[in-house]
Structure 1
């Protein structure tokens, strides 16, 4: 099976870094646009859902007042379906639907992406996140800025930044381990997007009180910029890439061990 990510890995690029970056941009710009659009869409959906569920003036919030866990469950299901929609959309299939620099880093560690493509993916994801948060700031205005929504920033819970860091590290590691396990299983590969969507829903329900549930440095950065609130942002810039990168490295080592030291011929990617 040949995926969009396979094409990124095997396309010939010039040797010099500057030329490689320009060549990658000319050849694969559609992939980068898809990544930017995917994260912008994700942030827009998360923002609208959060305003509906958390703003005191929202009829949805009023109907679920006093049911914080219920509101998180609704948000989790909604965002789980958003992830599934992005992964299986034509644009998601085109780029592999990373929409997350931590995911891109993990696939680069696996040799799935060339350095130039990984860099452009990261740039596109950050720009897409900023654009999505900026759009929400303009359209949702005071509802988006209300303290109950606070531009959907991710912030540590009452237990502090240390617990938030550990929680983000754990859910990031588990997410990448599940994804790689599914992508290397013939029956699970086709439903990998559904598995990740299900994990997102579970994390929002269970893990949110500890870290706000990010998994995504670009998503947290975009919200922090919109809110101009950078407190504990380091947690979300460091923990997800570390967790997902660690899962990728361990997966690669495990598969090499099973293959007697040889590199597996193919690492499938989302899409």
Structure 2
């Protein structure tokens, strides 16, 4: 199996099990309906662990463009392989979302709320605040990549490493996921969101493309900086990319902070008209 095929299959498994638990908890007439955030957090953590077990020996199981970019910026993953990995991850996420749609087919019609249906596929903010939303995704993915590499520096009983990574995802979900739904993975959000947009899911609403940039920009910047931070602090080498990425993050946060103030003012003015 090629590494690209492995990334496709691994990301597909990730979404089948991850979006699958969201569907089970969210959609009506499912036995898991309304079982709560902890079930979703555990489901996503186990989804990551199983996906890593499935393809880790073939591709390294990035399953996430933020991880792929972080490793490329560190110089331990070839840049020429980055586009292929990211494409495979996005397509795998789309394939996984299609499987979830089919698996829960009769439940979509039974669930009236359009936002609930979208939440099976894509993340969204608990509070609509662009600056805070981007910052949240940056922090979550920064912690994910930093901790992921720290875990990799330890020795575990053979076969235990993917399970520890799964627990990391559970921890991030329970501790940091309540703000934006912790995408921490652009492919995990964009691929299924695109499937939601394209497929004739009964009673679906809009795919909320105005928010879709947040779970792409936040994780890519946060994850890339997480890898560079690990290299600088734990390995003692602060590359030029570290400072460049830090500068980009500061600029993005300043721009989104200014946009958030303008956005909030426009919303307030509409409400008072």
- Equivalent of 1:50, from 2, 16, 22? 22
User: Could you tell me whether the CA contact under 8 Å between 1:137 and 1:226 is conserved in 2?
Assistant: no
- Equivalent of 2:61, from 62, 72, 97? 97
Q: Deviations over 1:55-102 (max 9, x none)?
A: 12223226x4xxxxxx1111211221221122223x222111110011
Aligned residues: 223
User: Could you tell me whether the CA contact under 8 Å between 1:183 and 1:189 is conserved in 2?
Assistant: no
The two structures, once aligned, show a CA RMSD in angstroms of 2.5
**SS of residue in 2 equivalent to 1:46:** helix
Indicate yes or no: 2:76 matched with 1:112: yes
Which residue number corresponds to residue 75 of structure 1? 40
Which residue number corresponds to residue 36 of structure 1? 8
**SS of residue in 2 equivalent to 1:33:** helix
Which residue number corresponds to residue 238 of structure 1? 217
Which residue number corresponds to residue 12 of structure 1? none
Post-superposition offset of 1:144: 4.9
Which residue number corresponds to residue 251 of structure 2? none
User: Could you tell me whether the CA contact under 8 Å between 1:50 and 1:149 is conserved in 2?
Assistant: no
Post-superposition offset of 1:46: 1.9
**SS of residue in 2 equivalent to 1:257:** coil
Q: Deviations over 1:209-259 (max 9, x none)?
A: 310111110111012212221131111111111111111112222355379
Gaps of at least 5 residues in structure 1 are: 1-28, 65-70, 260-271
Rounded to whole Å, the distance in 1 between the matches of 2:130 and 2:223 is: 19
Indicate yes or no: 2:32 matched with 1:60: yes
TM-score (normalised: structure 1): 0.74
Gaps of at least 5 residues in structure 2 are: 198-206, 239-273
Indicate yes or no: 2:135 matched with 1:166: yes
**SS of residue in 2 equivalent to 1:116:** helix
TM-score (normalised: structure 2): 0.73
For residues 177 and 59 of structure 1, do their structure 2 counterparts lie closer, same or farther at Cα, with a shift above 3 Å needed? same
- Please give the residue correspondences for 1:258-269 in structure 2 after superposition, counting only pairs within 5 Å: none
Post-superposition offset of 1:139: 4.0
Q: Deviations over 1:152-198 (max 9, x none)?
A: 21111125232221111111111111111122234599744333211
For residues 253 and 61 of structure 1, do their structure 2 counterparts lie closer, same or farther at Cα, with a shift above 3 Å needed? same
Rounded to whole Å, the distance in 2 between the matches of 1:171 and 1:83 is: 15
User: Could you tell me whether the CA contact under 8 Å between 1:53 and 1:61 is conserved in 2?
Assistant: yes
Which residue number corresponds to residue 126 of structure 1? 90
